[in-house]
Amino acid sequence: MAAQGDSSSSDKKSKEVMNDVSTFRAENLQNNMKVVYYSRTFLSIIGGAIAGILGLTGFMGFILYFIVMAITSIGLIAKAKFSLHSYFDCWNRIILDGFLGGLM
């Protein structure tokens, strides 16, 4: 009888562990990453146009780009309601992914 009691408690523990493990659908994760990529690309273009209009070249243009990308990261985090792990598998997907790619 003790063995059966131990197995039921281990079943409960394994069910609790399964509930704690977050799973992602590949399609949803891919769509979220596509939105991040398009947002960064669009805002890179806008940032470049603003830098051109203001006549910011060289180091000041880079500074403006990094400011625009930081604002983009904050905006995407706010759009995710500061719950990154509900929409992405790791936090650096939304903060760093595509950060330097838009520089070109």
For 18-41, write each residue's pLDDT tens digit: 454 456 677 878 888 888 888 888
Query: What tokens does 39 get?
Result: 């947002």
Average pLDDT taken over every residue of the chain: 76
Q: What is the mean pLDDT of residues 73-81?
A: 86
Alpha-carbon gap, residue 40 to 45, rounded angstroms = 9
Q: Which residue has the tokens 């905006």?
A: 75
